[in-house]
Amino acid sequence: MSASTRRSAPPTGSAPAGEAVIDRLVEANRHYAAGFTDPGMGARPVLQVAVVACMDARLDLHAALGMELGDCHTVRNAGGVVTDDTIRSLTISQRALGTRSVILIHHTGCGLEKLTEDFRHELELEVGQRPAWAVEAFRDVDQDVRQSMQRVRTSPFLPHTDDVRGFVFDVSTGLLREIDPQF
């Protein structure tokens, strides 16, 4: 398939043999940009909310929460856990860009439930250097949501910690289940 043939239609599905997935994504961006109109919005989220969620590809956060472009800040990482870097992003979101609420979303069937901190040790043996970060693996998704809520609520860097709620997204039903922080 020639480059001109690939440009004639937006790419869909998996990349053809010999074509790198990033090439496919860049091509899709060209199609997107061809019809793009600057929405004229700023970086401040309209709903003044930050969403912290897992990076799992099954979570379509905007669709699941009924949000549009510009409604929220989204911070995603493995497990959706609140790490120092998550606090960094939330601090900038709140102090510089006006968010006041934080919603934490973990999910059923998370890959971090199958890992342990041994992952770091195995990685160190393989590459010869210990990662500076923790895996943040967990066995109980509800308890991990509670821990993440507590980390947000007790951070001295975050001025808005009164509207922090945590949920577990069921990847089979699409429903959110709220977690009681006091269990």
**pLDDT tens figures, 5-59:** 333 445 556 656 557 999 999 999 999 999 999 999 999 999 999 999 999 999 9
d(CA 21, CA 41) in angstroms, rounded, equals 30
Residue labelled with tokens 């497990």: 79
Residue labelled with tokens 């379509």: 60
User: Are 124 and 131 contacting, i.e. CB atoms less than 8 angstroms apart?
Assistant: yes
What's the confidence (pLDDT) of residue 5? 37
Lookup: tokens for 181: 């922080």
What's the confidence (pLDDT) of residue 35? 96
Question: Would you give the distance in Å from CA 30 to the centre of its chain?
Answer: 25
Cβ neighbours of residue 74 closer than 8 Å, sequence gap 6 or more:
50, 51, 53, 61
Confidence bin at 145 (pLDDT 50/70/90): very high
The structure's pTM equals: 0.87
The 3-state DSSP class for residue 27 equals: helix
pLDDT beyond 50 at 168: yes
Confidence bin at 182 (pLDDT 50/70/90): confident
pLDDT beyond 50 at 4: no
How is the beta sheet containing 101-107 ordered, strand by strand?
Answer: 72-77, 49-54, 101-107, 164-169, 176-179
**Segment 62-111, tens digit of pLDDT:** 999 999 999 999 999 999 999 999 999 999 999 999 999 999 999 999 99
Adjacent-strand bridge partners of 104: 52, 166
What's the confidence (pLDDT) of residue 142? 97
What's the confidence (pLDDT) of residue 47? 98
Adjacent-strand bridge partners of 165: 103
What's the confidence (pLDDT) of residue 11? 53
